[in-house]
């Protein structure tokens, strides 16, 4: 996805962030259902992404199609997507798939006390599914069989990973029932990439000019946790040539010598 479609997806993900703290797997299932509807009708995709139509008209069309059939959150998400611009009609479906998987990842993030542990479990469950499928040509043929129904494929898929949590089960069901031209394992790999992207919000990559003592690491952990409002996992490297003494990367945010106020605060906490 590139150009205006990438911009529209980025804007949609920003809007979704406001919904994620309270989102449930039900919202993800609704979005996957909408995706199935879009994939099943080329005419609908063209109508809802037609660049010659005003955004308000396309938004109204989306609300007419989905209003009362999905939750208010799902309807609002689809209305906003319809009013956006897309390079290709298929791109809006890709965007819906990405948003639905992001909802699942956010639900996993809140599970088991929240944070990185839930995301790691989701990632491990998805990896386990792909490993089992990859080891069996018979299972692969079963998923490729055009005569097999979606429910039968989903039932088989979930039997392969009986210990998988509900977030992983939701993504696996989607991958086998509507892989959208991909092998189910390839779509699961795409979901893993989205989970890994979200994990970066919980990992602090720290580079220092000299090794830190255990006490300094504890203070750095406390300071970063307080700064970001969540428990981060620290990965620390040493680079003697580093200018400024310390560099911290969390997600897309980088703090280095140019961010003097926040790093100064961290240095003071590390020094005690």
Which residues are CB-contacts of 151 (< 8 A; sequence separation ≥ 6)?
Answer: 177
Query: Please, what are the domains in the chain?
Result: 4-199 (no CATH), 201-271 (3.40.30)
Q: Left (φ > 0), alpha (ψ -120 to 50) or beta: where does 3 sit? A: left
pLDDT, one tens digit for every residue, the chain (272 residues) = 678 999 999 999 999 999 999 999 999 999 999 999 999 999 999 999 999 999 999 999 999 999 999 999 999 999 999 999 999 999 999 999 999 999 999 999 998 666 789 999 999 999 999 999 999 999 999 999 999 999 999 999 999 999 999 999 999 999 999 999 999 999 999 999 999 999 988 888 999 888 989 998 999 899 988 988 888 888 899 988 887 778 899 888 888 754 444 556 666 665 66
Considering only CA atoms, which of 151, 150, 157 is closest in space to residue 125?
157
Could you give the CA distance from residue 110 to residue 127 in angstroms, rounded to a whole number?
20
Per-residue pLDDT, 232: 87
Inter-residue contact 101 to 194 (CB < 8 Å)? yes
Per-residue pLDDT, 258: 47
The length of the chain is 272
Per-residue pLDDT, 115: 79
């Amino acid at each position: 996805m590139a150009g205006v479609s990438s911009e529209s997806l980025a804007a949609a993900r920003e809007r979704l962030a406001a919904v994620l703290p309270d989102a449930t797997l039900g919202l993800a299932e609704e979005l996957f259902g909408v995706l199935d509807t879009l994939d099943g009708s080329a005419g609908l995709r063209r109508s809802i992404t037609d660049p010659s139509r005003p955004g308000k008209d396309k938004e109204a069309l989306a609300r007419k199609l989905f209003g009362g059939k999905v939750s208010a959150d799902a309807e609002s998400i689809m209305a906003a997507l319809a009013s956006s611009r897309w390079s290709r009609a298929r791109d809006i479906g890709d965007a819906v798939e990405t948003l639905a998987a992001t909802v699942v990842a956010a639900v996993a993030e809140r599970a088991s006390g929240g944070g990185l542990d839930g995301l790691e479990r989701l990632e491990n469950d998805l990896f386990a599914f792909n490993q089992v499928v990859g080891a069996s040509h018979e299972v692969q043929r079963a998923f490729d069989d055009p005569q097999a129904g979606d429910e039968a494929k989903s039932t088989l898929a979930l039997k392969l990973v009986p210990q998988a949590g509900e977030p992983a089960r939701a993504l696996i069901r989607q991958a086998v029932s509507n892989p959208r031209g991909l092998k189910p394992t390839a779509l699961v790999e795409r979901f893993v990439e989205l989970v890994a992207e979200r994990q970066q919000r919980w990992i602090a990559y720290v580079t220092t000019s000299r090794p830190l003592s255990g006490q300094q690491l504890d203070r750095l952990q406390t300071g970063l946790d307080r700064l970001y409002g969540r428990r981060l996992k620290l990965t620390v490297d040493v680079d003697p040539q580093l200018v400024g003494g310390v560099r911290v990367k969390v997600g897309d945010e980088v703090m280095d010598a140019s961010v003097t106020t926040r790093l100064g605060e961290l240095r003071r906490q590390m020094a005690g």
